Amino acid sequence: MSAPPSQQPTPAVPADSRARAAEPGSIGSPRHGVGFWCVAFAFLVAMAFSTVPTPLYPLYMQADGFSTFTVTVVFAVYAVGVIASLILAGHVSDWVGRKRVLVTALALELVAAVVFLLSSALPALIVGRVVSGLGVGMLTATATAHLHELHSAHRPEASPQRFQIVSTAANIGGLGAGTLVAGCLAQWVDGPLRTPTPSSPACSCSRSSPCSPRPRPSSCAGAAARTARSG
């Protein structure tokens, strides 16, 4: 009987190497990182556009003789649009995808900008603010959920702090930036009731995420509640 063949000893693998091999990658696809910042930029610009008319209302009062009650109505219909959008379309992106809803919301903001450009009459202002509110309601919940998904896909092992900071800055910072930019343009640029309007949606119309993770049910619809009070 022949002797059993000699077995080669298995080289030892350091424990820390095995741990690193088993550990999921801390950085995901670069496309998710690019998408994260594209969505954040579109979110910022769209929220800025929603507050562009705010410093222009006194000019509307002077040019068209609007009363304080009329301006209050224009403010109120924006909130109606936001609330209606949240109720009717707040979770649609869970079913049809984040990107489709984001593109639809940005298209509504473009429609509102066109309405503001075509006329400064009261009916046009009311229609434009309702359409803008519908777009903002769709955008806020969807963009917040999409930013969270893109952050998790790009940095699966990272803290959610970056997502929280960026989404809050885009939301609240956009609301403040829109008023500031519109006020500056109205002060120093010709056509104060026309110039500020197309600047915001024109910047964001081409911004969308190049890579979208599979949507998860969103619990971020409440993030849009404060936007209904900002118009």
Domain-located, residue 62: yes
Structure tokens at 154: 């790009």
Give CA 16 to chain center in angstroms. Answer: 41
* Overall number of domains in the chain: 1
Contacts for 89 with CB less than 8 Å, ≥ 6 apart: 101, 134, 137, 138
Distance CA 68, CA 88 (A): 31
CB 83 within 8 A of CB 137: yes
Average pLDDT, the chain: 77
Counting every residue written for the chain, the total comes to: 231
What pTM value is reported for the model?
A: 0.72
pLDDT tens digits along 170-193: 999 999 998 998 888 888 877 766
Domain-located, residue 117: yes
% of residues, the chain, pLDDT over 70: 70
Question: Which residue segment(s) compose the domain that 87 sits in?
Answer: 40-229
CA torsion sign, 149 to 150 to 154 to 160? negative
Contacts for 161 with CB less than 8 Å, ≥ 6 apart: none
Distance CA 150, CA 146 (A): 6
Distance CA 136, CA 134 (A): 6
Domain-located, residue 14: no
CATH of residue 184's domain is 1.20.1250.20
Backbone angles phi, psi at 41, to 5 degrees: -65, -45
Query: What pLDDT is attached to residue 198?
Result: 56
Domain-located, residue 16: no
Could you give the count of Cα atoms lying within 13 Å of 119 in the half-sphere of its Cβ? 11
Which DSSP state fits 164? H
Using alpha carbons, select from 230, 225, 191 the residue that is nearest to residue 49: 230
Structure tokens at 206: 């081409």
Q: What is the CA radius of gyration of the chain?
A: 24
Query: What pLDDT is attached to residue 75?
Result: 86
Q: Where does the pLDDT of residue 167 fall: very low under 50, low under 70, confident under 90, or very high at 90 and above?
A: very high
Domain-located, residue 184: yes
Q: Is the pLDDT of residue 88 over 50?
A: yes
Higher-pLDDT residue of 10, 64: 64
pLDDT tens digits along 99-119: 899 999 999 999 998 898 888
Query: What pLDDT is attached to residue 224?
Result: 45
Query: What pLDDT is attached to residue 97?
Result: 87
Q: Where does the pLDDT of residue 25 fall: very low under 50, low under 70, confident under 90, or very high at 90 and above?
A: very low
Domain-located, residue 89: yes
Domain-located, residue 212: yes
Domain-located, residue 45: yes
- For tokens 């309601």, the residue is 137
Distance CA 217, CA 201 (A): 28
Q: Where does the pLDDT of residue 60 fall: very low under 50, low under 70, confident under 90, or very high at 90 and above?
A: confident
Q: Where does the pLDDT of residue 196 fall: very low under 50, low under 70, confident under 90, or very high at 90 and above?
A: low
